Amino acid sequence: MGHRILVINPNSSESCKRGIAESLAGYALPGRPPFEVVSLPGGPPAIASWRDWYGVAEPLCRLVESEPAAAYIIACVSDPGLEAVRSVTPRPVFGPFRAAVAAALARAERFGVIAFVDASKARQRRALQAMGAEQRLAASIALNLPMETLTDLRAARGALCDTARALVAEGAEAVILGCAGMAGHRAAVEDAAGVPVIEPCQAAAVQALLATG
């Protein structure tokens, strides 16, 4: 079991978990650690507030301590519990938002974020400040849609495409999907926006594969 890359969805949304697994299917490579996607037992419906964000830190730590893996991805785009989890394992632990920002900075001078809810912006801003990347953010626009709407490939598609185009109008040269529930929309949003669109769990998967190579 220690050879796998454990991808932990910290919320209880089964559709979000499925979307994460589907987004990583193309990253399964012969001879490399397989991705295993699990949900955090007892997790909230979504990581929508600071209380949700702080509340999953200790359960994430306990899960990582009990589940050996070659690397871990905390599959939420506000990177909840990242520092705490890194303190309980010597294995690499990746936050998708930080991974996505690194990917965006490799391809663009300025990037935009489609946030899950307005409350997500403060948590993502904290990560940008820690990375010294806050000045590279062109804009962040929140969808404020329920998780189950967001994971529906038809219900949220128009709002995502419109938001990506609005970010490009604000100067974004790349767009980050700011919630793991948006994973199934990446290609369509990229076509609509005309700039690179980065799916954070995929960005974290690439870094995890490099770290375990």
Under CATH, to which class is 97-200 assigned? alpha beta
Every domain of the chain and the residues it spans: 5-95+202-211, 97-200
CA distance 13 to 95: 19
pLDDT over 70 (residue 2): no
Q: Are strands 111-115 and 71-74 parallel, antiparallel or unpaired?
A: unpaired
Fold of the CATH domain 5-95+202-211: Rossmann fold (3.40.50)
Per residue in 120-152, pLDDT (tens digit) is 999 999 999 999 999 999 999 999 988 888 888
**Which letter, b or e, does each residue of 148-180 get, where b requires 16 or more Cβ atoms within 10 Å of its Cβ?**
bebbbeeebeebbbebbbebbeeebbbbbbbbb
pTM summary value: 0.93
Per residue in 144-161, pLDDT (tens digit) is 988 888 888 888 899 999
Per residue in 29-76, pLDDT (tens digit) is 888 899 999 999 999 988 988 999 999 999 999 999 999 999 999 999
